[in-house]
Amino acid sequence: MKKIIFLFAFVVYLTSCSSEKSCDTSNVSYKSNIKPIIDNYCSNCHGASFEMMGNNIKLDSYDLLKEKINDVVKAVNHAPNFSPMPKMMPKLNDCDIKMLEAWSAKGCPNN
């Protein structure tokens, strides 16, 4: 029994420090939070000079991303009726998804 309680406490400890603290979306910034996510996970297929598999969605500038942000938030959350993104790769981590949601909710500040 003691072992189980210990294990449980350890799991709670692990999950509590990994997620919340490191994901502060209050000062979400296009330049330092959002653009790096797009550059790392999306621009290979959604860049200006490249049309991967016939898709014509460009996300590699502020204006282009802003225009598509509602679809982007749905696609990275694997919402029904949306093609799950990034395509053929694992789902983005929770913090990256929260950053995109927070940026969208704030009206896409160009900061």
Q: What is the per-residue binding string for ligand HEC in 13-52, x denoting contact by CB under 6 A?
A: ----------------------------xx-xxx-----x
Q: Which pair of tokens denotes residue 59?
A: 């996300």
Minimum distance from residue 40 beta carbon to ligand HEC (Å): 8
> Nearest-CA neighbor of 69 among 36, 26, 102, 32?
102
Question: Quick check: 33 and 99 in contact, CB under 8 A?
Answer: yes
Contacts of 84 (CB under 8 A, 6+ apart): 75, 78, 91
Contact set for ligand HEC, span 52-111 (CB under 6 A): 52-53, 55, 57, 59, 68, 71-72, 75-76, 82-83, 85-89, 92
- CA–CA distance, 87 with 74 (Å, rounded to integer): 13
The residues of the shown chain that bind ligand HEC, judged by CB under 6 A, are: 41-42, 44-46, 52-53, 55, 57, 59, 68, 71-72, 75-76, 82-83, 85-89, 92
